[in-house]
């Protein structure tokens, strides 16, 4: 497979991620063959290293949090009866821990997706417009799937949608109160 500007999906590839290198093979009978193949650029290799480090850190955090939650759950049941306030506080704490674990697991999934895109040569391009995501953004958020412009547009659309839903609910309550 050669990486010369187009991927198997027809989108422009992150050309900065791969470069073509030639290797010359020499045989005894003076026959020479030339083979070209893609090689990861230094920048791409560094981003892969960053992703893999973040993945490892995230896995350790998830496992540690799960271990703590299990240990706290076991110790709470072993220490006796809890009153309603203590039970409520314990439930809230459990929900917070679960939410944190879930958030870190989602980040881990995004990192795995970025590593897969890197593997197939689709890493570094915006899913919305197809333009290259800036290296600065990828260093800050290596699993980013949108360029800054498209991400801002998406966030504005989400805020607008949320605002519209709120105003619809407010109108419903005003109509109901009348």
**Nearest of 137, 119, 109, 112 to residue 44 by alpha carbon:** 119
Per the CB < 8 A criterion, the answer to whether 70 and 43 are in contact is no
Beta-strand relationship, 32-40 and 18-26: antiparallel
| pLDDT above 80 (res 152) | yes
**Nearest of 124, 122, 152 to residue 139 by alpha carbon:** 124
Q: What is the pTM of this model?
A: 0.63
H-assigned helices in 121-147: 135-140
Higher pLDDT: 171 or 71? It is: 71
| pLDDT above 50 (res 40) | yes
Q: What is the pLDDT of residue 174?
A: 65
Q: Tell me the sheet residues that pair with 23.
A: 35
Domain ranges across the chain: 15-146
Cα 101–102–108 angle (5° rounding)?
90
Higher pLDDT: 13 or 44? It is: 44
Q: 15-146 falls under which CATH superfamily?
A: DksA, coiled-coil domain (1.20.120.910)
Q: What is the pLDDT of residue 155?
A: 95
Mean pLDDT, rounded, for 75-101:
76
| pLDDT above 50 (res 119) | yes
Instruction: Quote the mean pLDDT of the chain.
Output: 76
Kindly report, residue by residue over 45-84, the tens digit of the pLDDT: 888 899 999 999 999 999 998 888 788 766 655 555 667 7
- Band of pLDDT at residue 147, cut at 50, 70 and 90: very high
**Nearest of 9, 15, 7, 3 to residue 132 by alpha carbon:** 15
């Amino acid at each position: 497979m050669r990486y010369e500007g187009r991927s198997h999906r027809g989108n422009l590839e992150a050309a900065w991620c791969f470069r073509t290198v030639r290797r010359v093979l020499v045989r005894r009978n003076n026959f020479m063959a030339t083979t070209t193949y893609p090689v990861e650029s230094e920048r791409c290799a560094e981003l892969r290293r960053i992703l893999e480090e973040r993945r490892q850190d995230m896995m350790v955090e998830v496992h540690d949090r799960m271990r703590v939650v299990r240990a706290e759950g076991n110790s709470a049941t072993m220490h006796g009866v809890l009153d309603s306030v203590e039970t409520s506080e314990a439930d809230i704490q459990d929900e917070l821990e679960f939410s944190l674990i879930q958030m870190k697991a989602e980040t881990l999934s995004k990192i795995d997706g970025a590593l897969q895109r890197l593997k197939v040569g689709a890493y570094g391009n915006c899913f919305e417009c197809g333009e290259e995501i800036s290296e600065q953004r990828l260093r800050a958020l290596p699993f980013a799937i949108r360029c800054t412009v498209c991400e801002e547009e998406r966030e504005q659309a989400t805020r607008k949608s949320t605002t519209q839903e709120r105003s619809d609910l407010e109108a419903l309550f005003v109509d109901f109160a009348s």
